[in-house]
Amino acid sequence: MKRTLENINYKEDTELLARFAKALGHPTRIAILKHLENQSCCFTGDLVDVLPLAQSTVSQHLKELKNAGLIQGELKPPKIKYCINQKNWERAKLLFETLFNYDLTNKKY
């Protein structure tokens, strides 16, 4: 963005939720996460086989999911085993639930 002289401070939860949402904001990354849910874990190569994208592109998507904290990689040389980061996955789940269930939780009484 341009001319952003001062940064905006949103609530921490808002920032975090947006971060998670942004990471989920690409069909390839949704597909990766769905695959990880099915397989529990998998190697980068498995995903390259499944997705119609170059290895470097898949690697980049994995990096973004990792940076957002949604997945984690474990070294199994020379491969890397990726799994969903359960702790942050639960965190994300709760943040989305809070957003979508606002009416039920806060407006009923």
Distance, in Å, from the CA atom of 83 to the CA atom of 35, rounded to the nearest integer, reads 10
Single out the residue of 31, 43, 50, 91 in contact with DNA (rule: CB under 7 A). 43
Using the rule CB under 7 A, give the single segment among 9-17, 31-39, 41-49, 99-107 that binds DNA.
Answer: 41-49
Minimum distance, C-beta of residue 51 to DNA, in the bound complex (Å):
8
Q: Is 69 left (phi over 0), alpha (psi -120 to 50) or beta?
A: left
What's the rounded Cα separation, in Å, for the pair 17 and 21? 6
Binding stretches for DNA (CB under 7 A): 1-4, 8, 22, 25-26, 28, 43-45, 48, 53-57, 59-64, 73, 77-80
